[in-house]
Amino acid sequence: MTFRSLIAAAIAPLFAALLAGPAHADVLIENVDGIRIDEDGDLDRFTALWVDDDGTIIEVLDKGDKRPERPTYLSDMEGRVIVPGMIDAHLHVMGIGFGALTLDLSQTNSLEEALALIAEFAQANPGRPWILGRGWNQEKWGLGRFPTAEELDSAVSDRPVFLERVDGHAGWANSRAIEMAEITGKTKDPAGGRIERDASGAPSGVFVDAAAELVQKVVPAPRPVDRDAALYEAQNILLSQGITAVADMGTTLLDWQTYRRAGDSGRLRMRIMSYAAGIEDMEVIGGTGPTPWLYEDRLRLNGVKLYLDGALGSRGAWLKAPYTDDADNTGLPLLTDTQLRNKMSRAAMENYQVAVHAIGDAANAEALAAIEELSESYRGDRRWRIEHAQIVDPADIERFGKYGIIASVQPVHQTSDRLMAEARLGPERLPGAYPWASLKDAGARLALGSDAPVERAAPFVGMAVAMTRIDGDGMPPGGWMARERLSRMAAWRGFTADAAFAGFAEGRFGRLVEGERADFVVIDRDIARASPQAIRETRVLETWIAGKQVYRRGD
């Protein structure tokens, strides 16, 4: 074999790609009322998108601009508004999917209403060995206490029932489930968890944080086919909301395998930036480091999600001072400072991105301290993420400005939690509650999300709340702690370009600019001009990913 032909054979594929270039099938998406944030971060209007056959944008065109000679395809958008695909920077894909397949209690307003719904669901699903669901919130019910196993037995007693609290930080079991889990008055509280007990010390039905595991471990695991169905549901839900990419916060190995099955068989439609559910999952999924971007920028393991504390509702959030409505309780850290630093080091040393769940002010201070220490050894563009950053001691806020820290916050939590947060924290701590504008002013980059299924994945609602801190009922007038509101552009970027940056996806998707993927949404109004209230009511008509329609309202 000659040297020339050796070389030739070696570079053949490369050359083939070049040759294939001219033969691509491009699409001109024409006659749009396009609104985007341009390369300089400014608001920009355009009337057409010219998209290559791999779904990347060749050119963004305005009225006067010359169109391509003869594009292979033309899509007439009939003058409708299109904006960049929305990105949710913090949610749980499989949780959304399984939520759609299980009982949803999030809309119930009283214990009675919930019990009726549970009994009805059990009757409607005689085949199910376990009744599973989520979304209950004793605060919303105005119960003033946790519900009990006995109350749940009154709805279903023939089968085990286990229902996750709205924040995912507590579970409510009936007596059958507690029996099967062999939990008795003698069972000790596990580290990082609490078993709610009656006067006699017997489990009363609710299991907080790590204690929920005691019941979860006897719940039969879903089969792969169930997981595939859940992912299908989750994608339908998210695409219908105009979400084209998400950060999946806590991907287990089995979740990951579900995403790969979908990717391998062309059923992965949206983009998932994945954060493993712990160091073990991270290692077995990514091995030597983050995966490459897979399936044309549809999937990547970015790093790991670590839980430093629980949630405010279940008083699992770790506070510097006791809860105002529970004088002996400051919540609890789920990791010692050594454990946190060891886990962060193991991830950082292999260039995984680290996302630390921190809700209480003590947890946020500890997460900041760990980042400050590790940044000495692990330099470069790390994009340390603090997830939630909900209650921050004002004295700590400026610390978010260093080391390129990303504050990943969920606007709608603020409106849902408002009254509960006031009760838990008391007035003196409220200045540090959901301090979005302060974090941004301090120099943190804000990535915005929903924490779905904890809250609905509804980015236009999230954008409106970020701009107003007013809930769906218009409460409170003027907005809660109004000086922490974000500007329209900041809120919009938080759900698009900045959410992409927070997942190392800039240059791939998140903005409608040349060279990035043509992910966009057709909506029914001009969100650059609409009032926050109008933005909240935005209807998604179509969702497009990589220049192809993946959702259409009414289909």
Chain positions contacting a copy of itself, by CB under 8 A: 1-2, 5-6, 8-10, 12-13, 15-16, 19-25, 27, 53, 72-78, 224-225, 227-228, 253-254, 257-258, 260-261, 264-265, 283-288, 291-292, 294, 542, 547-549
* Cβ proximity to a copy of itself, 100 vs 253, nearer residue: 253
User: Measured from the CB of residue 6, what is the shortest distance to a copy of itself in angstroms?
Assistant: 7
Cα angle at 108 between 104 and 111, to 5 degrees?
110
226-260: b (≥16 Cβ within 10 Å) or e: ebbbbbbbbbbbbbebbbbbbbbbbbbbebbebbb
**To which residue do tokens 């809930």 refer?**
471
Name residue, tokens 């552009």: 489
Could you tell me the smallest distance in angstroms from the CB atom of residue 2 to a copy of itself? 5
Nearest of 171, 173, 201, 204 to residue 188 by alpha carbon:
201
CB of 544 vs a copy of itself, minimal distance in Å: 8
Q: Name the amino acid, one letter, at 71.
A: P
Which CB atom, from 5 or from 123, has the smaller least distance to a copy of itself?
5
- Cβ count within 10 A of residue 422: 16
β-bridge mates for residue 164, sequence order: 134, 171
Nearer to a copy of itself, 20 or 43 (CB): 20
DSSP state of 140: T
How far is residue 121's CA from residue 126's CA, in Å, rounded to a whole number?
9
Mapping DSSP to helix (H, G, I), strand (E, B) and coil, where does residue 384 land?
A: coil
The residue among 316, 389, 305, 369 whose CA lies nearest residue 343 is 305
SS3 (DSSP) at 58: strand
Nearer to a copy of itself, 529 or 548 (CB): 548
Residue 41 vs 287, nearer CB to a copy of itself: 287
Comparing CB distances to a copy of itself, the nearer of 217 and 223 is: 223
**To the nearest whole angstrom, how small is the minimum distance from the Cβ of residue 66 to a copy of itself?**
21
Q: Minimum distance from CB of 14 to a copy of itself (Å)?
A: 9
257/487 with CB nearer a copy of itself: 257
Considering beta carbons, is residue 9 or 482 the nearer one to a copy of itself? 9
Q: Which is nearer to a copy of itself, 452 or 512 (by Cβ)?
A: 512
Minimum CB distance to a copy of itself smaller for 257 or for 336:
257
Place of tokens 């606007």: 411
| Alpha helices (H) along 304-450 | 337-348, 361-377, 394-397, 411-425, 436-442
Specify the residue, 34 or 310, whose C-beta has the smaller distance to a copy of itself.
Answer: 34
Q: Quick one: tokens of 387? A: 């997830």
CA atoms within 13 A on the CB side of 153: 11
Shortest Å distance, C-beta 74 to a copy of itself: 6
335 closest CA partner among 361, 303, 304, 310: 310
Q: How far is the CB of 194 from a copy of itself (least distance, A)?
A: 32
Structure tokens at 96: 């959304």
- For a copy of itself, give the closer residue by CB, 45 or 261: 261
State the minimum distance, in angstroms, from the CB of residue 159 to a copy of itself.
25
Residue 413 class from Cβ within 10 Å (0-12 exposed, 13-18 middle, 19+ buried)? buried
Could you tell me the smallest distance in angstroms from the CB atom of residue 518 to a copy of itself? 11
Query: Token match 């989520």: residue?
Result: 134
Structure tokens at 311: 């949630």
Q: How far is the CB of 287 from a copy of itself (least distance, A)?
A: 3
Q: Alpha-carbon distance 321 to 331, whole Å?
A: 9
Measured at the CA of 497, the angle between CA 495 and CA 498, to 5 degrees, comes to: 75
Q: How far is the CB of 553 from a copy of itself (least distance, A)?
A: 12
Task: Return the beta strands (E) in 151-266 as ranges.
Answer: 161-165, 170-173, 193-197, 203-209, 243-251
- Shortest CB 16 distance to a copy of itself, Å: 4
Angle between helices 93-101 and 253-264 (to 10 degrees): 90
